Chains A and B, each alone.
Chain A
Amino acid sequence: MSTVKKSAQDTLHTDVISDKVRNYADEPYFVKKAEKAKEFLRQHPIPERYLKK
């Protein structure tokens, strides 16, 4: 059983780095969130006054 599968069964008692984490790049929820965020920042870019800090 991989680390991730074990973690899915048991309460996590520590942080674990894993190469078995699912790739969520194509998950529709995350794709939509990123597209919406891009559009929002295109319309409302970060002001220069905050970029100079």
Chain B
Amino acid sequence: MNLDRYHYVIADDYQKYIFYSNGPQGRIKKVITYTKLSDTPLTYNLAFGDENAAGVVDDAVVSNNKDRDIVLATVASTINLFCDHYGNNFIYAEGRTPVRTRLYQMGISRLWEEINVNFQVLGFVNDDWEDFRHNVNYEAFLVKRK
């Protein structure tokens, strides 16, 4: 993907990534982690949150830093890097709340032409997984690099 994104600090195990969102609300530290969920099929969890000055991570605050697509592109970029080291396996992601998950869905839709080139994206809706479609409010997502 050739979208604008933030640079990040990569942990040497390639499972943790740190970057800084810059915008009207200031500089916000963002943390992305990948955690193995299961071996069969090999699936990882992508979690993403803001780390405050006390070192506490959460995604409860809508930072409103006017850079949501840059942040999403940054997260997508880490998926590529993670897959380079851990293989093209399923990666699970969901927001802390339905509203947050909806924001992810809208972000994926906006960047779909770029995302679809390299990733298979599934969404969970109506008690089943399906190929990602626009304008559907999914409960969770699975991403796999093609």
Task: Please name all residues of chain B whose beta carbon is closer than 8 Å to the beta carbon of A50 when the two chains form the complex.
Answer: 122, 129, 142
State whether the Cβ of B112 lies closer than 8 Å to any Cβ in chain A: no
Bound Cα distance A50, B94 (Å): 19
Instruction: Return A15 CB to nearest CB of chain B, in Å.
Output: 5
Query: Of B12, B45, B56, which contacts A37 at CB under 8 A?
Result: B45
Q: How many A-B residue pairs lie within 8 Å, measured between CB atoms?
A: 103
State whether the Cβ of B2 lies closer than 8 Å to any Cβ in chain A: no
A7, closest chain B residue (CB)? B9
Q: How big is the B interface, by class?
A: 35 or more
Query: Of B10, B35, B38, B128, which contacts A30 at CB under 8 A?
Result: B35
A29 contacts B43, CB within 8 Å?
no
Instruction: Return A37 CB to nearest CB of chain B, in Å.
Output: 4
Instruction: Return A27 CB to nearest CB of chain B, in Å.
Output: 5
Task: Please name all residues of chain A whose beta carbon is closer than 8 Å to the beta carbon of B94 when the two chains form the complex.
Answer: 36-37, 40
